[in-house]
Amino acid sequence: MNSYEEFSKKDKPTDYFIKLSETLSKLNEELNAFNVISDLSKLTNFPISVKDNICTKDVETTASSKILKGYIPPFDATVVSKIREKNTFSFLGKTNMDEFGFGSFGVNSEKCAKNPFNTSYVSGGSSSGSAIATSILKYHISIAESTGGSISTPSAFCGVVGFTPTYGSVSRYGLIDYSNSLDKIGIIARKSEDIRFMYDIIKGKDIYDTTSVDINCNNQNNKTIILIDELIKEINPEIEKLFLELVDKFSKMGYVIKHKSIPFIEKAIASYYIIAMAEASTNLAKYTGFKYGFKNENISEKYNQFFTTSRSNFGKEAKRRVVLGTFVRSASVKDMYYSKALKTRTLLINELSKVLNEGFILSPVMPIKTPKFDEINNFSPLEVYKTDMLTIPPNLCGFPHIAFPYAYLNGMPVGAQLITKHWNDYAIIDIVSEWENNFKYNFKYNLGSI
């Protein structure tokens, strides 16, 4: 039974929202999960939250950026429209995130998102608020988005299930883009059945998004788990020990375990960041202080100063990506960097497709333990980017993948991810469901569960 069915059996669902209203604001002050919280006294249906880079009609949508403060979309994103059409869901609020999706730890926003297990630790990003909200709310599903690991990473750090579908299976219309060829709207929930339930609602072709495709997703399972040596050779020893225990459990579930080597996969990080930053710098060019959010009223300023004033509202990481992205797509070096990155992506898709035709790739979500805030302050930007080494390959290539919690380490959750071939989305949902039925995962939130 999924959470929606459980909630529907409640005699007095309004009582749940009364209890929720008493505690959610207080918890949000501590965890910074939401940028906007709805009036809970008016809600009666199953609660849904939406990441703050997905447009919601008449509700402020900022992608956690100062430059979009005050932007009120006059329309709903397609995924939001599909959910509203059911008339059986309540809109809980907009979740916090790294600005425009730029980040792995949930710290690149005005309000740092904190882990519900221990507020000294990061929650992961960029869909940090979605993962936090799902971890503290018993009845809840969040619509999130991933570019290079933005669903898997916070799901792993916060002990919930995060699903990133095949690129093109869910419409991106109404999404505030980070990188058009990489962005995928997905789902974060507490269990796989909630993922399946919501995916059935939001997937499908959309006339407003030419990259969306109407293809029936499969659930082909050949009971083979593949470990890519290059993806697991540099992980933390404690994470490796837990991961090998997980592999052993899959073996006991009847899965055949195979090892494969794809040396070329180590090029994924460089390829991803070149493509992502190039596309991000293009997408951010629209924010000029004229049309969206922040308005620069000082029209007497000279041309360059006017736009400098406006774009100073970008955060540090956004500025870094504008500079680097503009550089790699400039005429003088485009063929040296951007064109090669595109070719590398194509080669990776081909190589990984061959492997995924044989089975499912299993790996940890992150190569490191959940870090504390004071630890990541010592990370260089390059070290931060390298922590995405496990989540980038499926995101770069548009393969569906799902992150799920399977253990605890020093009181913090640890997550693994399953990757499958294009359009085989339901198979990995089925496998996680099988895992959940065989090995129960216990929620141990220090802050409790509402």
Tokens of 440: 């129960």
- What pLDDT, on a 0 to 100 scale, did the predictor assign at position 100? 98
CA-to-CA distance for 164 and 149, rounded, in angstroms? 9
- What pLDDT, on a 0 to 100 scale, did the predictor assign at position 295? 84
Asked, for residue 269, whether it belongs to a domain, the answer is no
- What pLDDT, on a 0 to 100 scale, did the predictor assign at position 13? 76
Asked, for residue 212, whether it belongs to a domain, the answer is yes
Q: What strands, in cross-sheet order, belong to the sheet with 224-228?
A: 34-37, 89-95, 46-51, 141-146, 184-189, 161-164, 401-409, 412-419, 360-364, 224-228, 256-260
Q: Which of 3, 49, 51, 64 is catalytic?
A: 51
Asked, for residue 139, whether it belongs to a domain, the answer is yes
CA-to-CA distance for 386 and 382, rounded, in angstroms? 6
Question: CA-based angle 77:82:85, to the nearest 5?
Answer: 120
Asked, for residue 154, whether it belongs to a domain, the answer is yes
Asked, for residue 136, whether it belongs to a domain, the answer is yes
Kindly report, residue by residue over 296-350, the tens digit of the pLDDT: 888 788 888 888 888 999 999 999 999 999 999 999 999 999 999 999 999 999 9
Q: Which of 109, 126, 171, 179 is catalytic?
A: 126
CB atoms within 10 A of CB 354: 12
Q: How many structural domains does the chain have?
A: 1
Q: Provide the residue range defining the domain that includes 184.
A: 3-222+361-438
Concerning whether 51 is annotated as a catalytic residue, the answer is yes
Asked, for residue 254, whether it belongs to a domain, the answer is no
CA-to-CA distance for 21 and 159, rounded, in angstroms? 23
- What pLDDT, on a 0 to 100 scale, did the predictor assign at position 341? 97
- Under-70 pLDDT residues of the chain: 441-449
Concerning whether 126 is annotated as a catalytic residue, the answer is yes
Radius of gyration of the chain, Cα coordinates, nearest whole angstrom: 21
CA-to-CA distance for 156 and 365, rounded, in angstroms? 7
Kindly report, residue by residue over 106-134, the tens digit of the pLDDT: 999 989 999 999 999 999 999 999 999 99
- What pLDDT, on a 0 to 100 scale, did the predictor assign at position 441? 67
Asked, for residue 161, whether it belongs to a domain, the answer is yes
- What pLDDT, on a 0 to 100 scale, did the predictor assign at position 298? 81
Asked, for residue 283, whether it belongs to a domain, the answer is no
User: 0.85 exceeded by the pTM?
Assistant: yes
Cβ-based burial of 222 (10 A; exposed 0-12, middle 13-18, buried ≥19): exposed
Concerning whether 114 is annotated as a catalytic residue, the answer is no
Residue ranges with strand state E in 13-149 = 34-37, 46-51, 89-95, 141-146
- What pLDDT, on a 0 to 100 scale, did the predictor assign at position 358? 97
CATH code for the domain in which residue 424 is found: 3.90.1300.10
CA-to-CA distance for 110 and 314, rounded, in angstroms? 11
Q: Which of 3, 150, 155, 433 is catalytic?
A: 150
